[in-house]
Every structure is written in C-alpha cells, then in structure tokens.
Structure 1
Amino acid sequence: MWTGYKILILSYLTTEIWMERQYLSQREVDRGANFTRNHTILEGTRFKRAIFKGQYCRSFGCCEDRDDACVTQFYERNALCYCDKFCERENSDCCPDYKSFCREKKGWPPHTKPWYPEGCHRDGQRYEEGSVIKENCNSCTCSGQQWKCSQHVCLVQPGLIEHVNKGDYGWTAQNYSQFWGMTLEEGFTYRLGTLPPSPLLLSMNEVAASLPETTDLPEFFIASYKWPGWTHGPLDQKNCAASWAFSTASVAADRIAIQSKGRYTANLSPQNLISCCGKNHHGCNSGSIDRAWWYLRRRGLVSHACYPLFKDQNATNNGCAMTSRSDGRGKRHATKPCPNSIEKSNRIYQCSPPYRVSSNETEIMKEIMQNGPVQAIMQVHEDFFNYKKGIYRHVTSTNEESEKYQKLHTHAVKLTGWGTLRGAKGRKEKFWIAANSWGKSWGENGYFRILRGVNESDIEKLIIAAWGQLTSSDEP
C-alpha cells in the first residue's frame, strides 16, 4: 500500500512540473491587444516559446542588443518570438530560425517595421493606412496609425440637442437624418436662401386690415379651419436655397383660393419661380422676395402640378420651361404646355403688387383672419434646424467652438394662425403658427410654433401679403 502512495505522490509532482513548464513555454498573447515588452522587468522574465520550423527572423530581420520592437508573429503557436540578441538566455523566446540565421548570417536584412499591423482602429474595426471615414460632417483620415479629423461645426450637434431637451425652454429638439453629415455653414447656405430685404421693401407703407378696432380676436385661429381646402401645406425645398420662392408661391396660392372663394385652389409652382425669375437672383442659390412678387404680378405662375419640382436642381437643362404672352389687358396666357405632360391645365395665376402689413401683433392677426396667410421674414439660428415641437425661442449654444458661427441668416416662411398654450416654466405663452419649407418630416408635420408679440427671431419685423389678380370673368 505504501508503494501505491509513493507512486501517486510521484505522479502528482511530475504533473505539477509539467504544467509549470507548459505555462512558461505556451503563454499566449491576445490577438487584439497592442503588446509591448515592459522595460522595467529584469532579464530572464520573457516567456519561452515552443520551437517550430519556419522563416521568422529570415523574413523580419535581426536586431542588435535588446530591442522590444524586434518581434514577429509565431503563427504556429499564435504567439510572439524575438529576433534581438536579448533572446539568447536560459528561458529563450527567440524565433526558431534565430540561431541558424541571426548568429550565422552577417548580412541581416534591416529591421524596419513593427510587429503590430499598420492602420487605425475605430469602433472595433481596423482600417488600412490612408482610409477615410465620415463622422457626421467631419472626415477622418488614417495617417501614421492615428486618425486625423477635420474640425467643422456640424449642423446636427448632439450636445445642443441635449442642452435644449434638458432645459425648460418650451420646445424640444431632434436629430434629423436629412441634416446629418452637413456642416452648419452648409445648412445656412442650402436650407434657407432668402436675401435680406431691400431698402425699397423695408420702406413700403404699412397697410392695416379693414376690420373694426373693436374686433374680438379669438385665442386660437388656424387658416385651414376657416378656409378648408383653400390653403396649402408645406413642400420640401431640400438643399435648394429657395425659401424666397416656396413661401411666396404658397402665400399667393392661398390668397388666390380665398379671394376666388374656392374657384381656383391650385398650389402654385415654386419651381416656376426658381427656373424663370432670372433677374437679380440665383435660383437655388438664394433670391429676393421683392423680385418674386414682381414676377408673380408681371409674368404669373402655373400650378405646382403643371411645373413640379426637379429632382436634380443642379442639372444643366433646368432652364425656364414656361413662356407666356399678354392679352393686352395685363392678363398672361401660357404659350407652352406644362413641363409635366400628365397635367393639361397651364393656366397662369397672377397677383397684385405686394403690400406690407404692420408689425403690430394685433394688425398681423387681423390681416390673417380677414384675408388669409401672410409671408414673414425671420432670422434663423443654429438651434432652429433641430426644432421638433413646442413653442420655439432661440436657445444659445453651449458649444464654445460654435460661437464664431453665431450668424443670422434670412429665411422666408408663411404665417397661418396663432394660439396660446402653456410653454416654458409652465407659463401661458402666445405663439404664431408658421409653415416651413423643409418637408412634413420636420417640426410639427412641416409647421412650427414660435413666440408671438415679442418679435422672436425677427418674425414680426417684415410681413408681406398680396391680392390675387382676378378679372371679371374670374370672379365667382
């Protein structure tokens, strides 16, 4: 029995010794880690590697003295081996061909590259040297195993969105996919497009509505409720800087429908203005509302169905596709069929000269309630692009880098009504209801509410309206 115990103990000791040797010779290195040898470790602590035949130092090169970068992959063991002189120790971690190549050959190939692969990593993925990736509006290039990124201020700023939503400002912000990847400057350049009002426009005399002074104005008013089917919803200008055309055409269409008592309800074509109103404007690169109203009076517009928006506003064949002639009494008649061959009606709609409505809150309300929606010129700040719902007021960005981009840019919208609701800090606040031209996925189905009576973002500074130009035969 004693003999059996001795055999058991001897077997246990033999197993322990074998496992210790295996640990020293088979320690694997994590494939994804950036491995470096610790220079503070005493000699003799590098782990011994199992020896297999193959070309290692012969392919990688040999190094004098101790060089922790003189290391290559030992693929058969999924480990590392060295080609520097330091590996010649009792617990050798030299590559299998070190002795046969580095000690016997004098013409060593130069050691020029590190063991780890060149390139950069991002989000667990490896990219080759020279690779370019996009992060929102910035481009990052892999150079020298580091990412070098541009430093543009982006139109969508997650920090600003979070700042608005955490504060009690009365409105909420959202990240819009159509704005992701654009710089702030690109947003101002391509999503607005109305030139600052000319001195002539600002010097126009204000016209007051004919309603009595004692008219009782309701707490809520929405034009589409008073004139159902006669007003028109928001379109999407996309990256065509032409809010000057979209707002003018929409206000004119509403006014013609209301004045004709529903006889002419077609939405008018902003593309007709973009392509044909050629003097002192640049189509999708901005234009003036005074020129747009001049064109509506002198040349007129066809319907949106007749002259729809082009998918590619930069195409070279986007010249004016409509022409017209006068009947001698100021009425224009089209001399070409509709660009949209499906639509047969090429009727041209005209307006009277535009007039300016008083900037007084009550006068604007009277004008909308009596005659229909009006055009408003506002100044857009960077936070407005992210508006989702609520009563908008400008919120200053907390991003110090954005301070140099605190520019005001002119935008044209359509005021369609007003109301009063609880807003910031639970207080009752007055607001305007306005139609934007960024599509129905933006804001409140394409609309937004903005503080009323305090000229928020200059929304009440310049209000424009016009009458439809109807002949006696047009009257209902």
Structure 2
Amino acid sequence: MWRCPLGLLLLLSLAGHVALGAKQGRVRRELAPGLHLRGIRDAGGRYCQEQDLCCRGRADDCALPYLGAICYCDLFCNRTVSDCCPDFWDFCLGVPPPFPPIQGCMHGGRIYPVLGTYWDNCNRCWQAGNHSAFWGMTLDEGIRYRLGTIRPSSLVMNMHEIYTVLNPGEVLPTAFEASEKWPNLIHEPLDQGNCAGSWAFSTAAVASDRVSIHSLGHMTPVLSPQNLLSCDTHQQQGCRGGHLDGAWWFLRRRGVVSDHCYPFSGRERDEAGPAPPCMMHSRAMGRGKRQATARCPNSHVNNNDIYQVTPVYRLGSNDKEIMKELMENGPVQALMEVHEDFFLYKGGIYSHTPMSLGKPERYRRHGTHSVKITGWGEETLPDGRTLKYWTAANSWGPAWGERGHFRILRGVNECDIESFVLGVWGRVGMEDMGHH
C-alpha cells in the first residue's frame, strides 16, 4: 500500500519526461523530439517577451536558451510547433498557445510542474501520472469525449430513496471488495475510448455484476455498452452523452445482449460521422421476457440471449447505507463530477486538488461522469488520522489509475460521489438457473 510520507510538502518527480538533449550548435530543424511534444514544460516562462524578440520569417539567431536546449521566437518555428519558446504564441502572435499551459500550479508563491503530486499537511495523498491515451487532448476535449453522463433532471435527482436500515449494533467491516465476496462474478473495467458514453458503460458494468450475482453465477455476461449506445436512442445521444434513468429503463424494458455478441465499435473524435445504427432489437415472449430479433452483430457468436433487470432504485447518500447495499447485493452505480486533475490520477486515494485555482475558466472546467463502486477501505496516515475511501471501477481501460480502478475519499461526498447512487436487481427466473 502506498503511503503518504511525513513532511508538509513533497514534490514527486515529473511522470512524463521530455527529451531536451539539443546542443546549442546543432542544426536548427534537427531538434529531436519536439520541446513541446508533451505540453509546455515551462508554462509561465518569459522568453520572447523578456528579450523583446519576435523575428519575421526564419531567423536562426532569433533563439534563446531553454531548459538545456534552445527555443525560437521567429515565425518559422510556428511551422513545426515543437521548438517555439513557451510565450511565442501569446506574445508574438497574440493567440493562446496550442498546448494549454495547465502545466504548472502556483502554491505558496512557487510554481510546481504538472504531473507532480504535492501534499499540503499530508492531506492530499494520491499520485498523478501522464496517460498516453490523453496525449494531445485539451481539457475541453477530455471532458467532451471521456465522460458523457448528463446530470439528471431535478425530477430524477429527487427520485425516492430506498433507505437501508442497519440493525442495532450492526458493524460493517473496515474493508470490503466485491470481487473477494463474489469471485469470478465481478467484471473488469472496459474502455469507452473517445466516446462520451459513460452513461452506457457504467450501466452495463453494474448490470453485468448484478445479473451474475443474482443468478448465483449461472449467468455471467459482460453486457454490451454498444447495444445501449446504438439502440437506446430516446432522448439519448450515444457517444455524445446520455441519461442514466433512460439507460436503466431500456435495460428493464428492452434488455441488452452480451458485449461478445454486440462488441463496442469505438468512436474516434470525429463529430461528423453518424452514430452506428442499432443492429439488435428484441420482442416480447410473454411473462416479461424478451428475445432478440436478429443474429449477433459479431458473426462468430451465436448466443444472442437478452438480459434484463428490475426497476432501478436510488440509495440514500449516507455512506453506511451505500456500504450495506454494496456488501449485500453487489456493486452500485455512482454519479461523480470529474475535474481536470482526475485525468492525471495514477494511484492512491483521490480527492480533488484545486491546482487550477486562479487560472482562466477554460482550465477549471469539469463534467459529469458515472462509475461503478466496488468496495471500500481505510488507510492510516503517519500522523494517526484515518483516511476512508471507496474503491471504484472507471471505464478508461486498464492502463489508467490502479488497473482501471481508483480510490476516492469516502463519507464526505467527494466530487459528488455519494449524491446519486443507484442499485438494481438482475431479472433472473428459475429457468435461467438451469441451462446456462
């Protein structure tokens, strides 16, 4: 377990290294990997402005020392983008830099580089890292393409809560993980790619686990997010966002097939293309059951069974109630607000660090996401305080965070994680218990 060290302030080394090996005498356009390949390293630096340099055309002597290499303030540098000085764009061209300078934060009068983690009185205990999946993406694009759950309407947010009552004297364990109680029934996180479809991914993830648990392992499907993305079109926008209540309505009334049968087609960041059409419909068979009206889109799979759930229910936002529900019935779905630093999460117990305070609004944007909570635990800090956390599965693939999962502060509604939590039962009949 990674622990938060003693000391008021600790700076981790940069997680993303940038090649800076250029020598002063080197021919200028041979500057190997671009200085700004992974974003401006020295976001606040004054170079062109300091020397009042802005040279027309290509002027190789219009250059300044820069972090062991050289950077340029002539118009030619803009063709390669890679070797301009950090303040070239705003000082010489009067435009924002192509790499937003979120690469530093001010703390106690000092600028700290990005991708470092710092602690203030040891309150912030998580590590940041550089995820290659996000290279070249702006914060705006991250919010637009990597989240995709629309905040529920006030009508849905006011949905009646089911209160879980703890028996007198009932004590919940200090740590719990669904995959330990239900081995082989809790599924690994999928990757939504650049599709703003967390509404479909988190719903399918929670339903997969719940169907497996409630059928006592007779059915263990990984349910298909693509089935929801393509076919649940009523007031939903596929890879441009959707509503959780609509996703659960669809799973109850229409049902979905397995991910194997209807695999994720992925969506790259081209807003122009139409969403893939729905390849699977279902029809009623009586007794509320449904069957598919088409073969699997994946022609190598014959099993096109339709899986359904009972009506979704909302839990109270008290962490003890969520814990009891999770321990008794399986993982739950939670809404959360994602801030700019969550994209950089690599490990530890996450809490939002206001790195971007004081920066322009475009660096402080956040969006709504949904995830699967799978367990909880607590960690003791060196000063004796206890940090309580949830464990949760994201849908950004196994390379992000702790093998696709993350831990987040519990009991304080960190990033709204406890504000809207949903549970559901898999629809399982006696006939389902035999032939699977």
The answer to whether TM tops 0.5 is yes
SS at match of 2:265: coil
Cα 1:221–1:134 change in 2 (3 A) is: farther
Structure 1 distance, partners of 2:206, 2:378, is 23
Structure 2 distance, partners of 1:213, 1:400, is 48
1:463 corresponds to which letter in structure 2? V
1:247 corresponds to which letter in structure 2? S
Q: Does the Cα contact within 8 Å between 1:272 and 1:320 map onto a contact in 2?
A: yes
* Equivalence for 1:286: 241
Structure 2 distance, partners of 1:232, 1:31, is 53
Identity level (%): 46
* Equivalence for 2:44: none
* Equivalence for 2:138: 183
Residue 269 of structure 1 pairs with residue 229 of structure 2: no
- Runs of 4+, deviation exceeding 2 Å: 30-33, 113-136, 138-143, 146-168, 208-216, 311-317, 398-408, 422-427
Structure 2 distance, partners of 1:221, 1:261, is 19
Cα 1:220–1:32 change in 2 (3 A) is: closer
1:256 corresponds to which letter in structure 2? V
TM-score if structure 2 supplies the norm length? 0.75
Structure 2 distance, partners of 1:283, 1:115, is 47
1:447 corresponds to which letter in structure 2? H
1:443 corresponds to which letter in structure 2? G
Residue 319 of structure 1 pairs with residue 265 of structure 2: no
SS at match of 1:132: helix
1:149 deviates by 5.8
Structure 1 distance, partners of 2:427, 2:101, is 41
Which residue among 84, 95, 103 is the counterpart of 1:157?
103
Residue 171 of structure 1 pairs with residue 139 of structure 2: no
* Equivalence for 1:419: 377
More helix by share: 1
Residue 241 of structure 1 pairs with residue 196 of structure 2: yes
1:223 deviates by 0.1
Cα 1:129–1:257 change in 2 (3 A) is: same
Cα 1:142–1:327 change in 2 (3 A) is: same
1:172 deviates by 0.9
Q: Does the Cα contact within 8 Å between 2:341 and 2:353 map onto a contact in 1?
A: yes
Aligned pair count reads: 366
1:374 deviates by 0.2
SS at match of 2:80: strand
Structure 1 distance, partners of 2:372, 2:232, is 20
Q: How does 1:296-315 map to 2 (within 5 A)?
A: 296-312=251-267
Structure 1 distance, partners of 2:382, 2:97, is 34
* Equivalence for 1:132: 79
Structure 2 distance, partners of 1:354, 1:252, is 10
Which residue among 191, 197, 210 is the counterpart of 1:255?
210
Which residue among 329, 332, 343 is the counterpart of 2:287?
329
The answer for unaligned runs of 5 or more in structure 1 is 1-29, 34-112
SS at match of 2:132: coil
Structure 1 distance, partners of 2:331, 2:77, is 54
Residue 356 of structure 1 pairs with residue 314 of structure 2: yes
Residue 393 of structure 1 pairs with residue 344 of structure 2: no
SS at match of 1:215: coil
Q: C-alpha root-mean-square deviation of aligned residues, in Å?
A: 3.4
Cα 1:399–1:198 change in 2 (3 A) is: closer
Q: How does 1:65-76 map to 2 (within 5 A)?
A: none
Residue 428 of structure 1 pairs with residue 386 of structure 2: yes
TM-score if structure 1 supplies the norm length? 0.69
Cα 1:116–1:430 change in 2 (3 A) is: closer
1:401 deviates by 2.7
1:132 corresponds to which letter in structure 2? R
- Work out which structure has the larger RCO, using CA pairs closer than 8 Å and 6 or more positions apart in sequence: 2
Residue 437 of structure 1 pairs with residue 390 of structure 2: no
Cα 1:427–1:135 change in 2 (3 A) is: farther
Residue 382 of structure 1 pairs with residue 340 of structure 2: yes
Which residue among 447, 458, 463 is the counterpart of 2:405?
447
Q: Which has the larger radius of gyration?
A: 1
SS at match of 2:432: coil
Structure 2 distance, partners of 1:114, 1:458, is 51
Q: Does the Cα contact within 8 Å between 1:221 and 1:369 map onto a contact in 2?
A: yes
1:268 corresponds to which letter in structure 2? L
